Amino acid sequence: MTGTLKNFRSICKKIICIGRNYSEHASELGNVVPSKPMIFMKPPSAFVVEPNKIIIPSEWDELHHEVELGVIIDKQCRNVNKDQAEQNIGGYCLALDMTARKIQDQLKKQGHPWLLAKGFDSSCPCGDFIDKNKLNLSSSVNLWLSVNGQMKQNGHTRDMIFSISDLIVYISKYITLEHGDLILTGTPAGVGPVKRGDQIEAGMDGDNNFKYSMKFNVAS
């Protein structure tokens, strides 16, 4: 089954994102820490891969970076328990949840959905498929991101409020998860602006010297 997941971006039907899953990040934007996972979606047209560029839509001047661990679903699942949730994970990827923060703030004030602020083309820069056996999530994974060589985000998955299996259990109560679907598990603190011409480098470091990094340029 996992063989086809190497091409998860071409088979992915849903990118489900978790918001405010790190308390330090919820606080930095003045948001309350949620008591249940907060979810929203991006369309698969949001994917962009190296060496393609992140494109800021013409009427906006900047975006915010959010580095996140992505979880890729292997088997279709609905209403699963924690053990089943773990068995349904096919692998992982490193991803960015690029966000038009000023638009998101306006939408929040109006009580409108965040789709435009979070789901525009190239809002989900994404790395390669990482086999589930390569990342030991029972210890912590370090997620980091720099802009033009300056470190901006440096967090650990152990600080997630809801674990990966908690998230799959919760989502699958309401939404069937399918082979190739991607869950972005939320960003640690340190989000901030990127402008046209900036370069983002992001990475994750796990146990046994596992390291993965990727670079994305923001189109001028």
Ligand X SMILES: CC(=O)CC(=O)C(=O)O
* Footprint on this chain of ligand X (rule: CB under 6 A): 17, 19-21, 25, 29, 66, 97, 99, 186-187
In angstroms, the CA 180 to CA 77 distance is 12
From ligand X, Mg ion, none, interface partner of 25 (C-beta below 5 to 8 A by class): ligand X
In angstroms, the CA 15 to CA 42 distance is 5
Work out how close the CB of 204 gets to Mg ion at its nearest, in angstroms, rounded to a whole number: 15
Contact 198, 56 (CB under 8 A): no
Q: Which residues bind Mg ion (CB under 5 A)?
A: 66, 97, 187
Asked if omega into 44 is within 30° of 0 (cis), the reply is no
Work out how close the CB of 204 gets to ligand X at its nearest, in angstroms, rounded to a whole number: 15
Work out how close the CB of 186 gets to Mg ion at its nearest, in angstroms, rounded to a whole number: 6
From ligand X, Mg ion, none, interface partner of 179 (C-beta below 5 to 8 A by class): none
3-state secondary structure at position 187: coil
DSSP summary character for residue 52: S
From Mg ion, ligand X, none, interface partner of 20 (C-beta below 5 to 8 A by class): ligand X
For residues 29 and 41, which CB has a smaller minimum distance to ligand X in the complex?
29
3-state secondary structure at position 47: strand
For residues 25 and 152, which CB has a smaller minimum distance to ligand X in the complex?
25
For residues 74 and 97, which CB has a smaller minimum distance to Mg ion in the complex?
97
Q: Which of 178, 182, 203, 207 is nearest to 39 (CA)?
A: 182
Q: Which of 99, 142, 159 is nearest to 124 (CA)?
A: 99
From Mg ion, ligand X, none, interface partner of 29 (C-beta below 5 to 8 A by class): ligand X
For residues 143 and 214, which CB has a smaller minimum distance to ligand X in the complex?
143
DSSP summary character for residue 156: E
Residue closest to Mg ion (Cβ): 97
Q: Which of 168, 200, 208 is nearest to 56 (CA)?
A: 200
Work out how close the CB of 56 gets to Mg ion at its nearest, in angstroms, rounded to a whole number: 17
For residues 146 and 187, which CB has a smaller minimum distance to ligand X in the complex?
187
From Mg ion, ligand X, none, interface partner of 41 (C-beta below 5 to 8 A by class): none
Work out how close the CB of 25 gets to ligand X at its nearest, in angstroms, rounded to a whole number: 5
Q: Which phi-psi region, left, alpha or beta, contains residue 124 (left: φ > 0; alpha: ψ -120 to 50)?
A: beta
Q: Which of 123, 115, 117 is nearest to 52 (CA)?
A: 123
Work out how close the CB of 68 gets to Mg ion at its nearest, in angstroms, rounded to a whole number: 6
